[in-house]
Amino acid sequence: MPNNLPKVVGTDDIIKFRNGKKARVILLNNAATTPPFETTLKAVNNYLQTYGALHRGAGPHANITFQKAEEALAVLRKFLNVSDEQTLLFTQNTSAAINLFIRLLRLKEDDVIITSIIEHTSNNLPWHFNTKAKPIFANAFDDGSLDYDDLEKKVKEHSNKLKLIAITGASNLTGYIPDIPRIATLAHQHKALLFVDAAQLAPHRLIDMKKQEIDALAFSAHKVYAPFGLGVLALPKKILEQIPVDPGGGSIDMISESGEIVWAPPTIRHQTGTWNVTGIIAAAASCKAILDTGWDKIIKHEKELVNYAVKQLQTIPNLTLYVPAEKYLTEDRIGTFTFNLKGYHHALLSAILENEYGIETRAGTICNHRLVRRWFKIGDKTQKEIERKIAGGDRLASYGIVRASLGIHNTKEDVDALVSALKEIAESGNKLKYKPVPVEEIYVCED
């Protein structure tokens, strides 16, 4: 565990392999989810000792719960530096937060949303299925960086109808971080809002919604070392001055016999049902740990590790890195590395790393099919055939990559373990036998 950084639960976990050998689990799937900080787990356990009904009762525990929730909300507001004109809503995760935000916008058929082809599925599909507005996609380059010329061209082209630019804060596939202030200026020049999918940005870089002029933003607590089922949506209060898209308990103050409704205040009526206070407490505890540590220390540690990792990955024979190494060395990118090893299906390689080396990674298209397809140079005819096979249950027919992603707890020793494993596989192959499970898109060990 790096010195002076928050300690993460599970980093010292030892597993036993089928051959009887033991090894420490190497946590390199942090872009998917992160374990909790020790302080976060303690905060949750302490909170649960006096758990009560938030907004649903009176009593000592209810009052303590209310007080702790208010303190947590203050921390989350500080973590994002939201303005007085902005407020927070809570969902299950980033995907749910984005879907809620879209429905609250209540856009029309002639409205336009501009996003990009580097977006995670969570910031792509909702714009197709949860609004009548037309989504327009800005182009990107092969390294996952945004084509600003194309973005600006499309913004100007649709200026009269443009309502929103929706962009990733950091890519889960390539580590690319767009120039958010630049995009905010562009959006506001054309009287549009800027929405940022901050699921990957929140654990890696400072977010300042005021300074960066971000109008709305979403992230998941399980990306910031608080895996207790919470999505955070920050948005302008004025958007909430409407009937809730998901009305329910807590959304009204009164309903008459004839059905007339007195809605709860705007910042309350959209947070229906019993709140996930445990998730809020956990998210705030993790965000506080990050703020207390200081972004300078966190970013310094990450950049040193990113530089080390990409240099070491280049030494592996027959390994393809889909983002050129120099991009990590010369640009500000978070530590997500996508690769394949010659002769190995991506899902098989991930299974070997798991079963023979105790290394956690992720394999697949990683929720960004367009860019991965471009990397593999898949034509329309081949794409249709792949889609036919997948629809028939063979999900392993898909092209894909392996992703290793760094967290605050990772060390050079973790990187060395990955590099050593990949070199051994490249030189000697796998030691165990594996069986494909197409419907699950995985390989399982047979030995």
* Residues 51 and 65: beta-carbon distance below 8 Å: yes
pLDDT band at 176 (very low <50, low <70, confident <90, very high): very high
Task: Note whether 144 and 57 are same-domain residues.
Answer: yes
Q: Which residues pair with 336 in a beta bridge?
A: 405
pLDDT at 238 over 70: yes
- Per-residue pLDDT reduced to its tens digit, 394-424: 999 999 999 999 999 999 999 999 999 999 9
Range 77-91 average pLDDT = 97
Confidence of residue 275 (pLDDT cuts 50, 70, 90): confident
pTM, two decimal places: 0.94
Nearest to 272 by CA among 76, 55, 74: 55
- Do residue 279 and residue 133 come from a single domain? yes
Here the tokens at position 424 are 């051994």
pLDDT tens sequence across 283-303 = 999 999 999 999 999 999 999
State the CATH number of the domain containing residue 145. Answer: 3.40.640.10
Which residues fall within 8 angstroms of residue 66, CB to CB, at 6 or more apart? Answer: 52, 54, 55
CA angle 65, 68, 69 (to 5 degrees): 85
Q: Which tens digit of pLDDT belongs to each residue from 337-379? A: 999 999 999 999 999 999 999 999 999 999 999 999 999 999 9
State phi, psi for 147 to the nearest 5 degrees: -90, 95
Q: Tell me, yes or no, whether 288 and 332 share the same domain.
A: no
Most confident of 19-23, 49-53, 312-316: 312-316
Distance (Å) of CA 86 to CA 168, 234, 267, 284, 422:
20, 7, 10, 18, 47
**Same domain for 365 and 285:** no
- The answer to whether residue 308 sits within a structural domain is yes
Which of 292, 317, 344 terminates a domain? The answer is 292
Domain for residue 5, yes or no? Answer: no
d(CA 171, CA 161): 27
**Residue 155 binned pLDDT confidence (cut-offs 50, 70, 90):** very high
- Distance, in Å, from the CA atom of 37 to the CA atom of 309, rounded to the nearest integer, reads 23
Residue 234 lies inside a defined structural domain of this protein: yes
Task: State residue 1's pLDDT score.
Answer: 63
Provide the domain limits for residue 30: 14-35+294-445
| Whether residue 285 sits in one domain with residue 300 | no
| Average pLDDT of every residue of the chain | 94
Does residue 165 sit in the same domain as residue 269?
yes
Q: What is the pLDDT of residue 20?
A: 81
CA atoms of 171 and 335, how far apart (whole Å)? 10
The mean pLDDT value for 141-170 works out to: 97
Q: Among 182-191, 197-206, 255-264, which stretch is predicted with the lowest mean pLDDT?
A: 255-264
Q: What is the tally of structural domains in the chain?
A: 2
